[in-house]
Structure formats: C-alpha cells, structure tokens
Structure 1
Amino acid sequence: MRRLSKLSRLLPALLLICLSAAGPWLAPYAVDTPITAPYAAPSSEALLGGDQLGRDVLTRLLLGGRELIASSVLVAVLVTGAAAVLGAISVLRPAVGRIVERVADVLMLLPSVLGILLITLYWPGGGRLAVIAAAFVMGVPYAVRLAAGAAAPVAASGYVEAAAAGGERLWHLVVREVLPNLRATLLTLFGLRFVAAVYVVATAGFLQVGPQPPAADWALMIRENAPGVLLNPWAVVAPSAAIGLLAMSVNLAAATFAAPTGRKPVIIL
C-alpha cells in the first residue's frame, strides 16, 4: 500500500516529463506551420485551437516544456549542490559563515524581476544560459540559509567533532560527515528550488529575455497569446496549467523521496 501511495505521488511528474520528452514524436503538426485562422476555437483539426498566428496550440504545448524542464532541473541541482556545500562550510567555519550570510542578505534584498533583467540583459548573447545564471544567483541565497540551518545540529554532533579533533580536513568533514546526513533535507530543498527555478525561467520567458519567438516555450506562449485570450482561452490556459502542474508534481515527488521512513512527508507548495 505504501509503495502504491508513493507511486501515485510520482506519476504526475513522470507523466509530464515523459510527455515533454516525447513531444516531437507526439506533435500532430510542424511547430511553426499555420493550420487555422489566428485564435481559432478548438476543432477536430486542432484540439486546442490556434494561436496568434494560427499555429496548432497542442503541438506547441507538447514541444514547449522540454527546455523549461531541463533548465529548471539544472538550476535546482546547481543551487541545491552549491547551497549544501556552502551551508556545511558555514557551520564548520563560522568566519566563512558570517561572510556567506552577509552576501546572502544582500542578494535577498534584490527583487527577483530586477535581478532577472540585470543578469539576462547584460549577459553576453543572453538566451537560455543567461536565464539559468539568473535563476542560480537568485536561488542560492535562500537555499544556503536552509542548508546551513539543517547542517548546524549535524556539525555539532559528537562524531563530527571527533573527526575534526582527529585532524580530518574540511572537505572530508563536509563530504563524508555532514552532507550524507542531510539527504532528506536536500531532497526537499531540491523540490523547493525546482519550483523557484520554474518561476524564474517562466518569468524570463514571459518578459522575453530568455527564449525568443518563434521558439515553442510555455511562458512565451502565455505572453504571445494573451491578447486573444477571449477568442481562444486554451492558448493561454493550457501552458499556464502545464507550468503549475509541473511545479507542484515535481515538488510532490521530491517530498515523497525525502520523507523519512514512518513519518509523513512535508510537501512544500
């Protein structure tokens, strides 16, 4: 029964990721080929209607999630890894911890939209790498505080103190003593940072400082089709729902993996 419960929590994320990965083979039309009138209503020819140029909304929906998912996963991995290492070092070396804390405080004061614009507009060439960099910079300050808070009681435990007294180097203490005891916390943190990364990447797409037309991207679809939302709501509702379901389902899956045995998982929405 418990395995079935876990599987049911994993299925939504797996389904969305598999659909996005298989998008090129499932798409009924070419991504940039107009097949209907602009903002045409759903029909047998186009199940979700047409977008602002008459392109098939379903085709662009199937193709629009791959890069967003890949970028968000990469950002979540990088942020969680950097925060885990910095958090562990911060509690093992208080002098370094004070510097990390001050830098994090400064970066947390920067509004997210302003940070996205500053990094993406001044990044050479802009594009997807600039969005990933912006999401990384905006995500680490929050994550490092959570990681440091979780690492503090581990660093104060007897076996870590014994290893330090025995002359073990800092890197050994971080990798072998502290981080293995933070697996549940880091998995939950990964889910949280994935949601935040989806928000940042989608915001960049909506602001058109990331992927550019005619690319198929869920956030870009919302921006492009907003003027015709009353004519064909599916052109906006479908990618909006996909982004929301993606964030919630991956977070749910991460919380399921992170749940200690015998305890109820904490789901961060």
Structure 2
Amino acid sequence: MFGFVATASLLVWAVFGPTPFYVIAVCAAILLALALVSYLFRWLLVLVLPWQLSQTFAKAPLTAIFGIIIILIFAASAIFAPFLAPFGEADIVSASFAPPDAQMLLGADQLGRDVLSRIIFGARNSVGLALIATILAFSVGSLTGLLAATYGGWLDQILSRIADTIMSVPSLIFSLLMLSIFGTDLSVIVIVVAVIYSPRVYRLTRAVAGNVVVMDYIEAAKLRGEGTWYLIRREILPNALAPLIAEFGLEFCFVFLLIAGLSFLGLGVQPPTADWGSMVRENATLISFGDYTPLIPAGAIALLTVAVNFVIDWILHRSSGLKD
C-alpha cells in the first residue's frame, strides 16, 4: 500500500508539478489526522462506557465515530455559544470585511461583525431551529402513520390522501409560498417546514408499522383485549423503532438544508440573528475577490450534513442485521 501511494505521488509530481502534490499531501495528512482522532475517541468511549455500549462502539466504523465527534462539537457550540464566542452575535467590532487578526480569527463580515462569533451563534440558531422543526414533523408524521396502520379503513385513506397532496408540491416552492403569505417569523418557519416533511415520515411509519400489524403477536394482543394505545406503545413502536431513528436523522438533514436554503434566499432566519445560510448570502460577493469567508458557513453546513449521514449509515447497517 505504501509503495502504491509513493508511486502515485511521484507520478503526480512528474506530470503536474509540485503544487498538486502538496495539495494531495495536505489532504492525506488531514485524513490521517481525522482517522487518528476518531480512533482515539472510539478507544475512549470503549473505556468509559458500560460494557454493552462499549461493545457497540468498539465495532463502529471510524466514519461513524467522526460523525459523532462533529455532532458533539456542534452541539457544544450551540449550547455554550455565549461563553465560547469572543463577541456578541450582532456586535459591530471592526471595519467592514476586516482581515483576520488576534481578536478576530476569521475576520469581519460586511458590517464589521466577528465572523467566528456569528458562526458559533449560528450553530445555535441554524441547528436548533432545524432540530425543533424535525421533532415536530417527526412527531406528527409518526403518530399519524401509526394510527393509520393500526386503524386502517377510512382514517388511513384520508391521511394518505392529505400526505399525497402535500408531497405533490415541491418543498421549496411550497415553503416560499407559505412564508410569503404568513411572514418569516421563526414559529412560522418551524410550522411550515414541519408540514412539508411530516408526510414523508408518515409514509415510512405507515409502511413499517403496516408490516408489524399483521404479525401473530399483534393478533394475540388483540385477543387478550389490549387497547389501541397499548398496541402502539408496547407492540408496534418498539419493533419499528430502528428505521424510524434512522429516518429522524435523514429528516434532520433535509430540514437543515431547507432552512439554510431559505435563509440564503432571504426568507429564513432574519438579520441580525446569525444563521449560516444568511451568512453565505451576506458575504457571497467576497468570492469574486478570492476571499474564503463565505465558504466557512457553507463548509459548516456541509460538514454537519456529512457527519449526520455517517452516523445514519452506521445505524441503518446495525438495524439491518448485516455483518461486517
């Protein structure tokens, strides 16, 4: 393996010159460092967690461990933003587009606000808003899906046709229309996004729960005289939980990207509240001058999305029963 990498590096140097070689070397060093950090963190989890959990994480791939690390970092930034940020969310502390210095590690934006502070506060606003909207969409979609699968009949038909109607409209067009009518208040954004994505959760929950409802142990519970809520809570939901957990992560990614897109278009989180999508829009003109500032919030959006998908892939692999 080492010989192959060395040979490939020499070929890149000979054909393209030293600059691409240095880029490849830096990327390889970063990947190696991330793999080492993920390996050490997995080793730490195995040491400190109870035996059953430690065995679970001991078999986790490094990509999943890396995703967990990124999620924990973003969660800590969102929770402790006032203590981690060097300046306030909307404080003007310098001239417009000031370069990085000892006080402002990432420089200033178009109004002279510290970019690093707004990135940290943006974790609270962007991730927090997406998490609330995902929880609401998942709660509504999973509850209606379980009821439709359990009762069937006319209730299933009505809920399914409502879900089909909402899903037939493109999510971005639907959200832009609703926000143009009802305004861009944070509560309106949460409700609109929840309405858009709850039918997707409903569809999956109905399909998974429908496969469970026909099982023999459900019929046995009905013969015992168990009620509907008992069947949902004790029989159906525990057997459908694994794919629903994975779906929660996927829905979070979709909601997170939609809210970021709405903020980029000016109909999401409004100034002066820090939001990664609006930060990309506000500093987009700097790309023409070779400045990397707009890429920082865009990179944060991409990094969190990739991290969540790494963890979801691991959860889906475990719930599928496949062996490594």
The TM-score, its normalising length taken from structure 2, stands at 0.74
How far 1:156 sits from its partner (Å)?
0.8
2:305 to 247, 260, 263: 247
Pair 1:98-2:152 in alignment: no
Which of these two proteins has the greater Rg computed from alpha carbons?
2
Runs of 4+ with deviation above 6 angstroms: none
Task: State which drifts further: 136-145 or 25-34.
Answer: 25-34
Secondary structure of residue in 2 paired with 1:234: coil
In the alignment, structure 1 segments of 5+ residues that lack a partner are: none
Q: 2: CA distance between counterparts of 1:133 and 1:180?
A: 28
Q: 1: CA distance between counterparts of 2:85 and 2:292?
A: 17
Q: 1: CA distance between counterparts of 2:262 and 2:320?
A: 39
How far 1:133 sits from its partner (Å)?
0.6
Question: Which residue does the alignment assign to 1:141?
Answer: 199
Number of residue-to-residue matches in the alignment? 264
Pair 1:13-2:71 in alignment: yes
Q: 1: CA distance between counterparts of 2:235 and 2:76?
A: 36
Pair 1:37-2:95 in alignment: yes
Structure ranking higher in helix proportion: 2
In the alignment, structure 2 segments of 5+ residues that lack a partner are: 1-42, 44-55
Q: 1: CA distance between counterparts of 2:103 and 2:289?
A: 17
- Of structures 1 and 2, the one with the larger relative CO (CA 8 A, separation 6+) is 1
How far 1:221 sits from its partner (Å)?
0.7
Q: 2: CA distance between counterparts of 1:232 and 1:66?
A: 29
Question: Which residue does the alignment assign to 1:23?
Answer: 81
CA contact (8 A) 1:13 1:253 kept: no
Alignment of 1:1-269 (within 5 A): 2-4=56-58, 5=60, 7-95=65-153, 96-123=155-182, 126-231=184-289, 233-257=291-315, 259-260=318-319, 263=322
How far 1:110 sits from its partner (Å)?
1.2
How far 1:233 sits from its partner (Å)?
3.4
CA contact (8 A) 1:84 1:179 kept: no
Secondary structure of residue in 1 paired with 2:319: coil
CA contact (8 A) 1:49 1:234 kept: no
Q: 2: CA distance between counterparts of 1:144 and 1:132?
A: 18
After superposition, what is the alpha-carbon deviation per residue over 1:34-56, rounded to whole angstroms, capped at 9, x for unaligned? 34432233344422122111222
Give identity over the alignment, percent: 31
